[in-house]
Amino acid sequence: MLSIDNSTIGYDVEGMKNAIGQINSEVIGAAQQVLLEGADGIERSIKDVWVGASADQFVKNIQDDRRKVSYGLDQAFMVFKDCVNQIIEDMDTVDATIVSDRSGDDL
């Protein structure tokens, strides 16, 4: 495989895809794990000390909030992923047009 050491201009499609995957795991995954631990932990704590319809509603609100925030994180990641894919597409377009085909040109 061709390798260009110390390249400073250009793009590495596989590298970017790997980076997106790692960011998804290390950022979105970590954040959603914190959300899940928090909501479930609070729910357990509530059930230990509070009984009734209000307690049920409070737990529901907490889980709803958690889902909304989790959804927001997923949306943010999707926008980021689309953005990077668009960058790859744009770079492909640029790369394909930097040098034009002169085969049909007269010398």
Binding site for another protein (CB under 8 A): 8, 11-12, 15-16, 18-19, 22-23, 26-28, 30-31, 34-35, 37-38, 41-42, 45-46, 48-52, 54-55, 58, 61-62, 65, 69, 72-73, 76-77, 79-80, 83-84, 87
If one counts every other C-beta atom within 10 angstroms of the C-beta of residue 39, the result is 19
Q: Least distance from C-beta 12 to another protein, angstroms?
A: 8
**CA contacts within 13 A on the Cβ side of 25:** 6
Measured from the CB atom, the residue of 2 and 22 that comes closer to another protein is: 22
How many whole angstroms separate alpha carbon 35 and alpha carbon 31?
A: 6
Tell me the one-letter amino acid at 7.
Answer: S
How many whole angstroms separate alpha carbon 49 and alpha carbon 95?
A: 63
Measured from the CB atom, the residue of 10 and 104 that comes closer to another protein is: 10
Measured from the CB atom, the residue of 50 and 92 that comes closer to another protein is: 50
Q: Least distance from C-beta 22 to another protein, angstroms?
A: 6
How many whole angstroms separate alpha carbon 107 and alpha carbon 102?
A: 9
